[in-house]
A and B are shown apart, each in its own frame.
Chain A
């Protein structure tokens, strides 16, 4: 597969922005992008492979008994889309939710539209198509009833699984009308009548539970890990401990002697940029997972570590730090920050550096895939965010027509960006190819595999420099990021953060500062750099939001008042005016940066937390905020720090404005979960390398937040439920403000600045 094709898998890397990202050394790339796209640029869902589909005959079927089946075409990884999108359809079509069954679509973007569950896009891109699906189905049922009764369609109304003839009160059930309705023309354009907001039964209410909720509690829900087929065999892979390494010599004799082990299969080494390739290594196939693991332990492998054998996190941090202190590539420039800095007296200067380490996703279900080859086709069962990428990887590997590869999408036991990459499905295909035809192979990653061989969140040093005048006004702002780029995954040797990374909370900040410069340092990647829930917003918002707090204290002002003053009055800013030509692929007209909405969430979070109240000794409140994935979030954390420096999170208040709130109950769940994931990375999680190898291996040394460290109180504040606004993302936006809010709270409690994650404890 070409690098360009790989780029198309992630909307960050879409279209000419993606192509441009490939030309990483190209000069003047912002203007190139603008020129290339001025005429033809498509935005949002239209820019995604497959776009959107709103044909009711694709998504809805009604049985003669009235049972309504709605297709969920996006994978469920815990955000609730498998419930929320069908719920939108059911609402518009006036179906009774208890009569609705949801079925999961296989990979088929030509039929269903884009299926890449990533970038907090599911509701953003499919709210309106799913509303149109439901509304069209409702109107077709009404038309069928009107025809049956020979009355004008204006006299009938769909209502809770029935169509009523208003003048006479006659009723026909959806089951009675199903066959006729399917033959009605599909209404489009002006003929399509969406519900008024006052008519919603499920949208914006808290009536609908997860479709899988009961099955989950009974252990009956089927995740990728739970796939079983007759004659299935199980495989695990010993992978090169260093990215880019390869097998020099392998002795399989002892592995093959383990009872239950059937076969040993070599996985070819990765070539060039990692993309979605398997890392290579040696697979052991056995009658069960445990025998396969025993077999793997018995392999004797000599590795050639390759060019990343010296990757060392302590040394690399020095590299990043040095890079962050030297001029980098300009991503945004306004006024003259360098001159303002040079002219300012020391007393008006403030500089700080922030560090965020590599992070592993560590979804509770490690990567897993089952592949069965049948003649000129193959069938796949897996838990994956991007089913089409899995289909294409398997088709390419097995030299099959993509149409002959069926990818069944099972529930994901978490994803967080890791399961966008189908490398593990490709591994399963390689192993299945080595087995007698028709043998289903389940490839299981162990937790150690998951921690050691992840597509990691980048590692970064962020340097900020500001000039703040005696009146407390910020006169200049420099933000320089030094972090390996996700582009290195697709283009070998790519250095320096790209537009789509800088446009996640580095360049696109709306503060009233006359001199602004944002730069990125060109540093090399030595690991597979992937995307982790909220991506580059994590380090950028951590640095910028802690720095604003530092500036507030330097100015002697309350951090909330200082932030609101820096943001200024409510106004809509063209992202292009902030040098942001990416805007999460969305139209700048449709999705401007709205400082009024940002102010709104800051005020809501502060109000919820009782900002300014008197706190017990050792407690502190910290504020941070972020605009990401077209949604606005603000978080206030209350911490208690004891005299040994142990940090306890007392409470979290999180406010979000995601525009229309479609399934508020699940939005709150994402906010609570985002708070906890944000605290995990803030407090305890860190991946480090020594001699090219990941130091951590399991939950004892890659620590994530546990129940006893979780705040007892997480208050969520949903604001501005405005259906006139286009929808914002929900899954990722809760994460970025959490870590800076925590560190700002620690400062408020102790007077000590923590600029390096994870915090662990306050020194």
Chain B
């Protein structure tokens, strides 16, 4: 039995140690917000946070995740930065098909936590591990800039 801390609650799963966290989340726990895109950490659709840092869950064995705080897209509403990013994503009408967007948002949240006022170049660098085949990159850029502004205003108040 493996114990996982996901979005603040404890989950027990009975899976092999080497099973990637992605499939534990999706197939075993039914948390399908985290997406399968490539299976080799090339596209970012499966991005989750482990102790606050973005990781590709498709290549993260569940044994590595044990004892860490895991956050997924389902937990972002409870996170102030997550909420700001989600709201900016709506205001900017970012999504087209939307499939990659959970991963995009997870990467954006971790960027803004590490770098609250990123430059355009820092945004481009941080987001380049996340592919969007529909081509929403210009709006992702705008949404991250908007979330950064909003979080900065909120911090002043």
Interface residues of A (CB under 8 A from B): 76-80, 209-210, 212-214, 216-223, 225-226, 228, 234, 259, 287-290, 293, 362-366, 411-416, 444, 446-448, 665, 669-670, 672-677, 680, 698-700, 704-714
Neighbour of A707 across the interface among B35, B74, B127, CB < 8 A: B127
Q: Is the CB of A363 within 8 A of B40?
A: no
Other contacts beyond A219-B76, A411-B99, A677-B134: 17, CB < 8 A: A212-B95, A213-B98, A217-B101, A218-B73, A220-B33, A228-B32, A363-B99, A364-B133, A365-B97, A414-B97, A416-B133, A447-B39, A669-B96, A699-B40, A705-B135, A707-B128, A712-B120
Chain B stretch 30-59: residues in CB contact (< 8 A) with chain A: 30-40, 42-43, 45
Q: Is the CB of B45 within 8 A of A364?
A: yes
Q: Is the CB of A414 within 8 A of B140?
A: no
Q: Is the CB of A210 within 8 A of B93?
A: yes
Asked if A411 meets B38 with Cβ closer than 8 Å, knowing A213-B90, A226-B32, the reply is: no
Neighbour of B135 across the interface among A220, A665, A675, CB < 8 A: A675
For A680, list chain B residues within 8 Å (CB): 135
Complexed CA–CA distance, A218 and B101 (Å) = 9
Q: Is the CB of A673 within 8 A of B134?
A: yes
For A672, list chain B residues within 8 Å (CB): 135-136, 138-139
Q: Is the CB of B86 within 8 A of A217?
A: yes
Chain A: CB-nearest residue to B45: A364
Q: Is the CB of A665 within 8 A of B93?
A: yes
For B95, list chain A residues within 8 Å (CB): 210, 212-213, 216-217
Complexed CA–CA distance, A77 and B45 (Å) = 17
A-B contact pairs, 22 of them (CB 8 A): A80-B96, A209-B90, A210-B95, A213-B98, A219-B72, A219-B73, A219-B74, A288-B27, A364-B43, A412-B97, A413-B99, A447-B38, A447-B43, A669-B139, A673-B96, A676-B135, A699-B42, A707-B137, A708-B125, A709-B128, A711-B138, A714-B138
CB distance from A531 to the nearest CB of B (A): 16
Neighbour of B137 across the interface among A412, A415, A447, A710, CB < 8 A: A710
Asked if A290 meets B136 with Cβ closer than 8 Å, knowing A210-B93, A216-B101, A225-B32, the reply is: no
For A212, list chain B residues within 8 Å (CB): 95, 98
Bitwise, B118-157 to A at CB < 8 A (1) or not (0) is 0010011101111111111111110000000000000000
Q: Is the CB of B32 within 8 A of A219?
A: yes
Greatest chain A CB density within 10 A among B27, B45, B99, B127 is at: B99
Q: Is the CB of B100 within 8 A of A79?
A: no
Q: With an 8 A cutoff between CB atoms, is B105 at the interface?
A: yes
Asked if A217 meets B125 with Cβ closer than 8 Å, knowing A209-B93, A365-B35, A700-B42, the reply is: no
Chain A: CB-nearest residue to B20: A290
Neighbour of A219 across the interface among B34, B128, B129, B139, CB < 8 A: B34
Q: Is the CB of A413 within 8 A of B97?
A: yes
Chain B: CB-nearest residue to A709: B128
Q: With an 8 A cutoff between CB atoms, is B19 at the interface?
A: yes
Complexed CA–CA distance, A699 and B98 (Å) = 19
Q: With an 8 A cutoff between CB atoms, is B4 at the interface?
A: no
CB distance from A158 to the nearest CB of B (A): 29
CB distance from B70 to the nearest CB of A (A): 14
Neighbour of B98 across the interface among A289, A411, A670, CB < 8 A: A411
For A228, list chain B residues within 8 Å (CB): 30, 32
Chain A: CB-nearest residue to B103: A364
CB distance from A448 to the nearest CB of B (A): 8
Q: Is the CB of B133 within 8 A of A414?
A: yes
Complexed CA–CA distance, A167 and B76 (Å) = 52
Q: Is the CB of B27 within 8 A of A447?
A: no
Complexed CA–CA distance, A712 and B127 (Å) = 13
For A214, list chain B residues within 8 Å (CB): 90
For A710, list chain B residues within 8 Å (CB): 124, 135, 137-138
CB distance from B38 to the nearest CB of A (A): 4
For B40, list chain A residues within 8 Å (CB): 447, 698-700
For A670, list chain B residues within 8 Å (CB): 96
Asked if A699 meets B19 with Cβ closer than 8 Å, knowing A219-B73, A225-B35, A362-B133, the reply is: no
Neighbour of A290 across the interface among B23, B32, B45, CB < 8 A: B23
For B132, list chain A residues within 8 Å (CB): 364, 707
Asked if A704 meets B133 with Cβ closer than 8 Å, knowing A290-B20, A411-B98, A413-B99, the reply is: yes
Bitwise, B6-19 to A at CB < 8 A (1) or not (0) is 00000000011001
Complexed CA–CA distance, A287 and B23 (Å) = 11
Greatest chain B CB density within 10 A among A216, A222, A223, A287 is at: A216
For A700, list chain B residues within 8 Å (CB): 40, 42
Asked if A289 meets B101 with Cβ closer than 8 Å, knowing A217-B95, A672-B135, A674-B135, the reply is: no
Q: Is the CB of A363 within 8 A of B96?
A: no
Neighbour of B97 across the interface among A78, A289, A290, A711, CB < 8 A: A78
Chain B: CB-nearest residue to A210: B95
For A78, list chain B residues within 8 Å (CB): 96-98, 134
Q: Is the CB of A447 within 8 A of B37?
A: yes
Complexed CA–CA distance, A388 and B132 (Å) = 28
Complexed CA–CA distance, A416 and B99 (Å) = 14
For B113, list chain A residues within 8 Å (CB): none
CB distance from A414 to the nearest CB of B (A): 5
Chain A: CB-nearest residue to B90: A213
Chain A: CB-nearest residue to B76: A218
Q: With an 8 A cutoff between CB atoms, is B81 at the interface?
A: no
Complexed CA–CA distance, A226 and B99 (Å) = 10
CB distance from A202 to the nearest CB of B (A): 15
For B134, list chain A residues within 8 Å (CB): 78, 364, 414, 673, 676-677
Greatest chain B CB density within 10 A among A222, A670, A706 is at: A706
Q: Is the CB of B93 within 8 A of A363?
A: no
Q: Is the CB of B97 within 8 A of A219?
A: no
CB distance from B149 to the nearest CB of A (A): 18
Chain B: CB-nearest residue to A220: B33
Asked if A77 meets B97 with Cβ closer than 8 Å, knowing A290-B27, A700-B42, the reply is: yes
Q: Is the CB of A218 within 8 A of B97?
A: no
Q: Is the CB of B135 within 8 A of A699?
A: no
Q: Is the CB of A225 within 8 A of B36?
A: yes
Q: Is the CB of A698 within 8 A of B99?
A: no
For B138, list chain A residues within 8 Å (CB): 672, 710-714
Q: Is the CB of A708 within 8 A of B124?
A: yes
Q: Which 5 residue pairs are nearest across A and B when measured between Cβ atoms?
A: A219-B33, A413-B99, A676-B135, A78-B97, A219-B73
Chain A: CB-nearest residue to B88: A217
For A222, list chain B residues within 8 Å (CB): 32
For A290, list chain B residues within 8 Å (CB): 19-20, 23, 27
For B32, list chain A residues within 8 Å (CB): 219, 222, 225-226, 228
CB distance from B148 to the nearest CB of A (A): 16
Chain A: CB-nearest residue to B102: A219
Chain B: CB-nearest residue to A227: B32
Q: Is the CB of B89 within 8 A of A217?
A: yes
Chain A: CB-nearest residue to B38: A447
Chain B stretch 74-122: residues in CB contact (< 8 A) with chain A: 74, 76-77, 86, 89-90, 93, 95-102, 105, 120
Complexed CA–CA distance, A577 and B103 (Å) = 50
Asked if A446 meets B39 with Cβ closer than 8 Å, knowing A226-B32, A290-B19, A672-B139, the reply is: yes
Q: With an 8 A cutoff between CB atoms, is B68 at the interface?
A: no
